[in-house]
Amino acid sequence: MRIPSFYLPGRGLLHACDARVKLLLLLPFAVLFFLPLSLRLLAAYLGVLAGSYLLFLGPRELARTLRSLLPVIVLVLLLTPPFHPQGRPLLVVFSRPLVTWEGIRESLALAGRFTGLSLLFLLLLRTTDPDQLILSLRWLGVPFETALVITITLRMIPSLAALYENVLDAHRLRRADEEPSGRGALRRLAQVLPVLTSVLIQAVKGIPLLAMALESRGLGRKNPRTSLLELKSSSGFRRDLAAGLFILLLVLAPLLFFPSWKN
């Protein structure tokens, strides 16, 4: 079974940008979508994000991402207005306003916020190598042990998924002469329990072996650690940070210098 990876290699500016800068700027850009923005400004920010997606990842990736977000966006657009009955009514049911202009405005704002945050997070992940991402988390202060757990986990996930497939096939072969599996979520859950038991036992048996391998590689020693992989040089980091802050300022400019654009 193929586990999807969140990184898409490429050669754009965003791919080349320092991972630390992207992580540092993620928070202020994310907070932006929680500010009370006008629909015009929100649409403009979404346009910039979509444009960046198109530029650095391509139209197919943008279409795939928007398709995966569509069910939630539709849900938000349909279910938000009934919870905002204030304002000029558009649709009245049994003398109660079901849909109002304010409700539609709120649903568009929430859909925009959700879409913007999704595109922002995915833009970071799709253009950042996982090793660089983990090194950046270490630079930000995440302990080495936590980063090591994440690294080992990312490498173990495909092999555990393959183990599950193998055990599932083995159990199916043992049940080949039995009746076909029943319908109903409960019945399927009961049928998958023996498979899960086997998978868990195999996984847990590997813990002492992995611990031995880590100890034999010097984990837990007190002497200073070296690293095979390194982050960019400090001059590259400073250049990328300056560029990132400039872009953030450009994005914040309508809010800071043209307050009327907020409404």
Partner 1 sequence: MTNKSSSAPGTAFRIATLAVLTAVTAVFTLVIRIPIAPTRGYLNLGDVAIYFCAFSFGPFTALAAGGLGTALADLLSGYAQFAPISLLVHGLQGLVAGLIASSGRGGRAETPLWLLAVCAGTLIMCSGYLAAESLLFGFGAALVELPGNLLQNLAGALAGIPLALAVRRAYPPIREFRW
Q: Which of 58, 89, 118, 236 binds partner 1 (CB under 8 A)?
A: 118
Stretch that binds partner 1, among 72-80, 86-94, 233-241, 254-262 (CB under 8 A): 72-80
By CB under 8 A, the residues from 174 to 193 that bind partner 1 are 183-186, 188-189, 192-193
Beta bridge partners of 97: 92
| Distance, CA of 65 to CA of 61 (rounded, Å) | 6
Q: Binding to partner 1 by residue 207, rule CB under 8 A? A: yes
Q: Binding to partner 1 by residue 169, rule CB under 8 A? A: no
We find the least distance from the C-beta atom of residue 235 to partner 1, in angstroms, to be 30
Q: Which residues contact 184 (CB under 8 A, 6 or more apart)?
A: none
Let me know: does 61 contact 122? Beta carbons within 8 Å: no
Q: Binding to partner 1 by residue 208, rule CB under 8 A? A: yes
**Backbone conformation region of residue 223, classed left if phi is above 0, alpha if psi is from -120 to 50, else beta:** beta
# residues contacting partner 1 (CB under 8 A): 65
Stretch that binds partner 1, among 42-50, 67-75, 173-181, 241-249 (CB under 8 A): 67-75
Distance spanning both ends of the chain, measured CA to CA:
49
**E-state strands within 194-237:** none
Q: Binding to partner 1 by residue 206, rule CB under 8 A? A: yes
Q: How many CB atoms lie within 10 A of CB 37?
A: 22
We find the least distance from the C-beta atom of residue 94 to partner 1, in angstroms, to be 19
- How many CA atoms within 13 Å lie on the side-chain side of 116? 26
Stretch that binds partner 1, among 49-57, 202-210, 225-233, 248-256 (CB under 8 A): 202-210
Q: Which of 149, 170, 242, 249 binds partner 1 (CB under 8 A)?
A: 149
Kindly report the backbone phi and psi dihedral angles of residue 96, in degrees, each rounded to the nearest multiple of 5, phi listed first. Answer: -115, 135
- How many CA atoms within 13 Å lie on the side-chain side of 133? 15
Instruction: List the structure tokens of 85.
Output: 């009955």
> Binding residues for partner 1, per CB under 8 A?
1, 3-6, 34, 65, 68, 72, 75-76, 79-80, 82-83, 106-107, 110-111, 113-114, 117-118, 121-122, 124-125, 145, 148-150, 152-154, 156-157, 160-161, 164, 183-186, 188-189, 192-193, 196-197, 199-201, 203-208, 210-212, 214-215, 219-220
